[in-house]
Structure 1
Amino acid sequence: MKFELLHKDPASKARAGKLTTAHGEIETPIFMPVGTVGSVKAVTQEQLREEINAQIILGNTYHLYLRPGLEILRQAGGLHGFNGWERPLLTDSGGYQVFSLANNRKIKEEGCVFQSHIDGSRHLFTPENVMDTQRVIGADIIMAFDECPPYPSEYKYAKQSMELTHRWLDRCIRRFKGTDPIYGYEQALFPIVQGSTYKDLRKISAEVIASKDCLGNAIGGLSVGEPEEDMYEMCELVCDILPTEKPRYLMGVGTPWNILENISLGVDMFDCVMPTRNGRNGMLFTWQGVINIKNKKWATDFTPIDANSPCIATSKYTKAYLRHLFAAGEILGMQLASIHNLAFYLELVKEARKRILEGTFAAWKEGMVKQLRQRL
């Protein structure tokens, strides 16, 4: 993997770059649709490529480990072979999912014992077997096994959790360096900065992660319930420490305005289930603001969601028709809303990149954040 930093915005810390992987190039800043079980909900791979223009998508180690399981994935040639996605893939280590099962897991130095949400069977994730699992899945970018503390967390717990994450990281790196890729192409390991919303812990963690000299770095434990201002403060602090020549990935964030604000702080990569999850519930993100398509006011609005969008779901179908689909409980409504939201997110980061390259990002961002937050 190679990352090239192409341009910095003169009035902010926003960056435009190019990330090269074995399965293709990624122009940053970038948003990555979440395909938890190997599929982005209600969206085909063809739609991801041709309508949404996703450059990279995510899979999740926890879910893929449980189903379909490692043997099937290995036989298929990894997740690329299994789901037919030919572009880059990233896998989350499963740490967030395991630790969200607060009543069904036990954390210890060795790793984490948890119960499957599918059948209640017991499993152990360790830094070593999580690396092995991600070798089998075969993503281009894989994540270190970490503990994601909840918000709020007491200082003592956040510090212990961070230190455990650092010890686990050393074990992840040793295992990763001691094993070979399975499918004939290189994978990149990203460690994860933790520390909750405590500035001193975030500083310590960012310095530790930076010292490992991995090909890229991630920021975890944000967008878990903390105020937006705290998220931005932690992100800025961490980005000022992480090396400028490596890509920075802010995990699980967020709204369109969250993404623009964090781009301005120096983040390159984002993922979030929000575009599809909110879309399935009738919330549409647009350049003018947020639409609740279930509202009666849209029943006779025969204009497209966005006539200027290259996405067919956005430019061809009217607000009235989409509202009708939701009112009728038609699954097509959820699908079209999901496609629209994902296409909008990808258009948003594409426009942000264009503005960075032009040197006009900061001023554009200020006005755009206010516009995006409006409720229509």
Structure 2
Amino acid sequence: MSDRPRFSFSISATDGAGRTGVIAMKRGDIRTPAFMPVGTAATVKAMKPQDVRASGADIILGNTYHLMLRPGAERVARLGGLHAFMGWERPILTDSGGYQVMSLSDLRKMSEEGVSFKSHLDGSAHMLTPERSMEIQRLLGSDIVMAFDECTPFPATRDEAALSMERSMRWARRSRDGFDAGQDHASVSALFGIQQGSMHEDLRRISADRLTDIGFDGYAVGGLAVGEGQDEMFRVLDFAVGMLPADRPRYLMGVGKPDDIVGAVERGIDMFDCVLPTRSGRTGQAFTRDGPINIKNAKHAEDPEPLDPDCHCPVCGQWSRAYLHHLIRSGEILGAMLMTEHNLNFYQALMADLRAAIAEGRLRAFADDFRARYLRG
């Protein structure tokens, strides 16, 4: 690889708790705050890699669970790794698979060793441990590797949350050791730890301290966006984010809606991922500065206006709401492609606006104006 740094994070400006900066890695820079489009199965659905990049994305996310089952991590490795396989040359973050296997409540069994589960595809038996998760992410060639953790369900009692967090911290240590064992990969990639503790401040503090003692390149806030609602999520972020090292990136996993992202950036989060812009695009929902719209609605059947008159994406520059309404109502593949392309461009434009607002010291004003217009619409 190039002589660029393995991993570094520099903060160029702050405004309140919000920060903007750059993560530098072998495969390129990641401007923060950053939104990572989700490429679950080695594809950002309905998008070509060059179009994902053209939207402004510096990094995408791949999924350990889905890729280990199909086509298989070993196969991807034989074919040159995930970047070559899917034609994406820039950084890729892979999640650990923990969230997916935990959600297979009827198909998995958890122990201190890891999680045994049956594939949702064919019922075949598998075992995912911290060590195997590190191995899979190494075979995929991930640039940012996530520690294997137990995603605490919501709601959970304090005792349940404590037991879950403690196990995640033991697995974090094993993940660190497993990552370091793959020396060639560890020399060109980064490892992030995941804070757990559910809604409890004292448990979040214990988790943050344990992770800091182990030492990671970045830190994720896990166990949120699991049904607790925005107010509760923000309440937890108000105390949880500041517990993590200020000189490392902070990643809020699985978030989210545009107004979730704005509020989390105000609280010091640097990285996000969510399936919402791509999934919504495929089902006919577009994100605009005046709030989301359902393009299937009959009122759009003869609307000559673009999805968002303030959007500069290729879709808004060429096609009308009426045409997109026709495509989605007709089940045309192009409809899913164009709606997804717009949504990803909207998200990346939002991140660029947030970075500029922080750099210019007007984050609070931007956030207030964005929320007022978005929620009113």
TM-score, with structure 1 as normaliser: 0.96
User: In the alignment, which residue of structure 2 is the partner of 1:6?
Assistant: 12
- State the alpha-carbon separation in 1 of the partners of residues 357 and 110 from structure 2: 45
CA contact (8 A) 1:308 1:315 kept: no
Partner residue of 2:262 out of 260, 263, 269: 260
CA contact (8 A) 2:34 2:270 kept: yes
Cα deviation for residue 213 of structure 1 reads: 2.5
Q: Structure 2: which 5+ runs fail to align?
A: 1-6
User: In the alignment, which residue of structure 1 is the partner of 2:78?
Assistant: 75
Partner residue of 1:28 out of 26, 32, 37: 32
Partner residue of 1:271 out of 270, 273, 289: 273
SS of equivalent residue, structure 1 residue 149: coil
Question: Where do 4+ consecutive residues of structure 1 move more than 6 Å?
Answer: none
User: In the alignment, which residue of structure 2 is the partner of 1:155?
Assistant: 158
CA contact (8 A) 1:286 1:344 kept: yes
Deviation readout 1:330-372 (Å, 9 max, x if unpaired): 1211111111111100000101000100001111101212222
Cα deviation for residue 26 of structure 1 reads: 0.7
Q: Structure 1: which 5+ runs fail to align?
A: none
Cα deviation for residue 306 of structure 1 reads: 2.9
CA contact (8 A) 1:17 1:29 kept: yes
- State the alpha-carbon separation in 1 of the partners of residues 267 and 110 from structure 2: 33
SS of equivalent residue, structure 1 residue 210: helix
SS of equivalent residue, structure 1 residue 165: helix
User: In the alignment, which residue of structure 1 is the partner of 2:125?
Assistant: 122
State the Cα RMSD in Å. 1.3
User: Structure 1 stretch 35-44 or stretch 310-319: which is displaced more?
Assistant: 310-319
**Percent of counterpart pairs with the same letter?**
47
Deviation readout 1:164-211 (Å, 9 max, x if unpaired): 0000111111111222235x9611000101111122212221222233
Partner residue of 1:132 out of 132, 135, 139: 135
Cα deviation for residue 294 of structure 1 reads: 1.1
SS of equivalent residue, structure 1 residue 309: coil
Are residue 142 (structure 1) and residue 145 (structure 2) matched? Answer: yes
Partner residue of 2:170 out of 167, 170, 173: 167
Partner residue of 2:363 out of 352, 355, 361: 361
User: In the alignment, which residue of structure 2 is the partner of 1:17?
Assistant: 21
SS of equivalent residue, structure 2 residue 109: strand
Aligned AA for 1:173? R
Q: What does residue range 296-307 of structure 1 map to in structure 2 within 5 Å?
A: 296-307=298-309
SS of equivalent residue, structure 1 residue 4: strand
CA contact (8 A) 1:140 1:188 kept: yes
Cα deviation for residue 236 of structure 1 reads: 2.1
Deviation readout 1:87-141 (Å, 9 max, x if unpaired): 1100000000010101100110000001101110010011111111111111110
SS of equivalent residue, structure 2 residue 126: strand
Are residue 288 (structure 1) and residue 294 (structure 2) matched? Answer: no
CA contact (8 A) 1:305 1:315 kept: no
Q: What does residue range 1-376 of structure 1 map to in structure 2 within 5 Å?
A: 1-9=7-15, 12-50=16-54, 52-182=55-185, 186-375=188-377
- State the alpha-carbon separation in 2 of the partners of residues 153 and 5 from structure 1: 36
Aligned AA for 2:88? W
Cα deviation for residue 328 of structure 1 reads: 1.3
User: Structure 1 stretch 286-295 or stretch 35-44: which is displaced more?
Assistant: 286-295
TM-score, with structure 2 as normaliser: 0.96
CA contact (8 A) 2:286 2:293 kept: yes
Aligned length: 371
